[in-house]
Amino acid sequence: MEYLLFITALGLGGVCAFGAFLFSRRRAPTKRSQLSYCLTAIIVSIGIGLLIAELAVSFVIVAVASDDREETFFDAELGWSRPPRNRVHDLNATATPSRRPDVVIVGDSVAFGHGVKPEEGMVHQARLLLEPNGISILNAAVSGYGVDQSYLYVKRHVDSWQSLRAVVVVLFSGNDFTDTASNIRYGKSKPQFRFVENELQLSQATIRRHSLRNTLSASKLIFASQALIPPFHDFLDDLSGKHVSSDDETKKVIESLLAELSVELDSRGTDLLLLLVPGKGDIENSSPTLLWFQVAIQRYGDHSVDLLPFLQETSVGADDLYLANDSWHLSVRGNAIAGEILARTIHTHLSQN
């Protein structure tokens, strides 16, 4: 759809340019004047065509897609964050100093509940099971976050979560690894941890609001064009300084962040729980990334749970556990299962500690 709108808009611009060219041939007294009129008409017409395409693509994205990214705002440390109040404040609100949860959930759109109603997400399903037992739970997940951003998010807010007993980091095998490896997500700049002389360092402590990458990401047309035209995507990556760490370095980064987070929370008397969520393809054939995460979560935190066997033992197939045409986000059924396992994990762990 975006591609069709893009071509249509440019076509309209071309028609305008051709019309202006014919007009200039009849009205301009000299060839030099005709050329000047023509070049000006072409530039203006192309600009108008791109503007029409931008508006059209923006309209389609808003009208057709319900995208969690629209609810976020720029954050100089995290890249983007969720506003304190939004349309699902009561269910999936960002943590604020006034809230005193027993358990905080962090992660990306899988934990947030992308694609389902707020009351159908895994965290709210877990909340319904935990609150009768006196356990309050807060969903602080933000769409698009890698392990690095979740780590920084907890570090920033942990002092405001009074009486906190546990933090649950929801890890998703589909893209948490690649998101943590890169300094760009959603076309926007994000923090990235790297090893420099065997020391873990944050490569970009402060993100510029109007950096080239963030400025370009504001255009829906550019965002859509990157998916349709791979060379254009690669060009923008090179132009804006995209860096993707190697798999070996990314593994070290994730392990280090989980280890540091465990130590930080332990010093405050708070436990770290890890919940691993597989992608749709992992249900039938585990990916190398999932296999690595399965080993890694056993080494960090106070308790870890792999959701894969619980999804595999259900009587429904993978198509019913994930959203249609989506290999990442859980369906209502998948979220219900994940919510039950999440609640059981939290209740069991807190009861024993």
In tens, the pLDDT along 76-134 reads 889 888 754 333 334 444 434 345 789 999 999 999 998 888 889 999 999 999 999 99
What's the CA gap between 327 and 307, in Å, rounded?
Answer: 15
Burial 217-239 (b: 16+ CB within 10 A, else e): bebbbbbbbbeeeeeebeebbee
pLDDT reported for residue 163? 86
Per-residue pLDDT of 129-181, as tens digits, reads 999 999 999 999 999 999 999 999 999 999 888 889 999 999 999 899 999 99
What's residue 76's pLDDT? Answer: 87
- DSSP readout, 162-183? TT--EEEEEEETTTHHHHHHBS
**pLDDT tens for residues 227-257?**
666 776 677 777 767 888 999 999 999 999 9
Decide if pLDDT at 9 tops 60.
Answer: no
Question: How far is 95 from 13, CA to CA, in rounded Å?
Answer: 47
Q: Tell me the Cα Rg of the chain.
A: 24
Displacement of CA 219 from its chain's centroid (Å): 17
Instruction: Tokens 């930080």: give the residue.
Output: 264
pTM reported for the whole predicted model: 0.79
Closest CA to 95 of 149, 17, 161, 186: 161
How far is it, in rounded angstroms, from Cα 157 to Cα 97? 8
Q: Please give the DSSP secondary-structure letter assigned to residue 330.
A: B
Length of the chain: 353
Distance separating alpha carbons of residues 244 and 234, to the nearest angstrom:
13
Start-to-end Cα distance in the chain = 54
Residue 347 has pLDDT above 80, yes or no: yes
Distance from C-alpha of 227 to C-alpha of 289, rounded to nearest angstrom: 24
From 10-14, 79-83, 193-197, 325-329, the region with the lowest mean pLDDT: 10-14
Cβ-count burial 246-283 (b if 16+ within 10 Å, e if not)? eeeebbbbbebbbeebbebbeeeebbbbbbbbbbbbbb
* Beta-strand runs (E) in the chain: 73-75, 79-81, 103-106, 137-139, 166-172, 184-185, 188-189, 193-196, 199-202, 271-277, 303-306
Strands 188-189 and 184-185: antiparallel
CA–CA separation, 303 and 272 (whole Å): 7
In this model, does residue 198 exceed pLDDT 80?
yes
**One-letter identity of residue 180:** T
Contact 328, 322 (CB under 8 A): yes
- Sequence-distant (6+) residues with CB within 8 A of 325 are none
Determine the distance from the C-alpha atom of residue 250 to the mean position of all C-alpha atoms in its chain, rounded to a whole number. 18
